[in-house]
Structure 1
């Protein structure tokens, strides 16, 4: 069952405190205090250590120049807490919303000696800049029952054992910051959480496959030999989405006549059989790739997606393999889609 009271709190950050390993060795938090239009301060309790004794590290992704279709909806919100349902356009999902590229994540401990080597060293400078700039913060998570703050500001799916009761899709927490001239995203998870989760029913948000699932620790751990990490990544991301024609023009510059396309690149040293693979958009409309087609090694190819329309108002594009697992995903904004007959490139 997903976390309760899920939503986003729009506010202005004013100060923060945090707990070191001496102050709280079990469940430390960074507490970010903020104001909206109410006179009382609110508090965001941000986990900075996992409660999983087998691996207490966090996994985090920072996006210093965050472009995603969600930002237009966020900017229109009034200050305060806004409850969200899973089908709301603003509800976030680390796996399905294509908020960041998975391989850019890093695993860090809570608080250790030295500089720039733990989660506190990473979070504090970002929060300091947000406060000094009087930026607007959007805190995704679960509102406290008393309405005085928010927690679960992290990935809320793919958790094992006793934490599995909180697993769900489109209920993930994070911190998104709106500065005067750009947006930034901070996304936090736990090393023991799953890279892939089920989409619906009883499996929604649960690790998939149920046994032997891929954890963030396995996907990102720098202690794994470089050649093994590369092998793991290629196995999980053998094909990339490199371009999309979202706003094409046909003959005589007739809009909507030419087909929308998605370009795929095979990164591996062997051909990839595309039978059973599909491309899906933000609305979960799906385009099956041709059965029997093989994307040869190192090659790129454009695929028409008539059953998976690509919105000119911004959206997501996700590539799934024959098992229904995410291979790669990208997002684009309305501004990126505005130029006519120009492909959007994804790095």
Structure 2
């Protein structure tokens, strides 16, 4: 059935903070306060699953404007997106600017990749680490006052966004299996002063890097 209302919020980053730590000292989300014409949106980026047996993985990468062309002309506000390759939607496994080898997972890897524009650009591979490291990686790209785009799903009540992570590949038997789908992945995109974009993408270790046309593990 996939997500019910996928889209992207474009606005200005006003502030960000972590969840209050629990008695193990863990943070579960980084919350971004994003202002847009409708008001202030609370965007919850998962950096831990709240299950000790399920970890988080993430990537940080920089892309040229031409690699995410739909973002350039979007005005501030929330925009629903069709879950198709041509709408501007994200798919970690299918988007030509985002996909990477399933085995490209490391504590820290940086490798050059030939872009569609013919230049070499650095692409950080998927990293597996602690929730504290994931939160720090996200915070490292955030600049207060910067233009930002949040891909995911709006809250059903109030202004906000969630599902700002991979939304496919959850295994059979998972409570999120029914929400699997292609071209509906979440992500945080910061507009850079030079016209490029810096992205933070995240997934849970239980989510597959190989999915079928329905977004289920292949």
> Is this a same-fold pair by TM over 0.5?
yes
Query: Structure 1, residues 18-47: CA drift from partner, whole Å, max 9, x if none?
Result: 125426878821110011123x31110111
Secondary structure at the counterpart of residue 201 of structure 2: strand
Q: 1:235 maps to what in 2?
A: none
Q: CA deviation at 1:49?
A: 0.2
Q: How does 1:137-148 map to 2 (within 5 A)?
A: 137-148=148-159
Q: 1 or 2, which has the higher helix percentage?
A: 1
Q: Which has the larger radius of gyration?
A: 1
Q: Does 1:125 align with 2:124?
A: no
Mapping 1:1-347, distance limit 5 Å = 1-19=1-19, 21-22=21-22, 28-38=28-38, 40-55=39-54, 57-63=55-61, 65-67=62-64, 69-87=66-84, 88-98=86-96, 99-102=98-101, 103=104, 104-111=125-132, 118-127=133-142, 130-131=143-144, 134-160=145-171, 161-181=174-194, 182-199=196-213, 204-208=214-218
Do the aligned residues in 2 keep the contact of 1:27 with 1:50 (CA within 8 Å)? no
**How far did residue 58 of structure 1 move?**
1.0
Long gaps (5+) in structure 2:
105-124
CA distance in 1, matches of 2:67, 2:150: 13
- Compare relative contact order (CA 8 Å, sep 6+) and give the higher one, 1 or 2: 2
Q: TM-score, with normalisation over the residues of structure 2?
A: 0.80
Task: Report the Cα distance in structure 2 between the residues aligned to 1:165 and 1:25, rounded to whole angstroms.
Answer: 32
The Cα shift of 1:177 comes to 1.1
- Aligned residue pairs: how many? 191
Deviation string 1:267-317 (CA, Å, 9 cap, x unpaired) is xxxxxxxxxxxxxxxxxxxxxxxxxxxxxxxxxxxxxxxxxxxxxxxxxxx
In structure 1, the gaps of 5 or more residues are 112-117, 209-347
> What is the rounded CA distance, in whole Å, between the counterparts of 2:180 and 2:27 in structure 1?
20
1:11 CA displacement: 0.5
User: Which ranges of 4 or more aligned residues in structure 1 deviate by more than 4 Å?
Assistant: 23-27
More strand by share: 2
Backbone CA RMSD of aligned residues:
2.1
Q: 1:24, 1:8 → 2: CA distance?
A: 33
Using the TM superposition, give the Cα deviation of residue 81 of structure 1 relative to its aligned residue in structure 2, in angstroms: 0.4
Give the TM-score taking structure 1 as reference length: 0.52
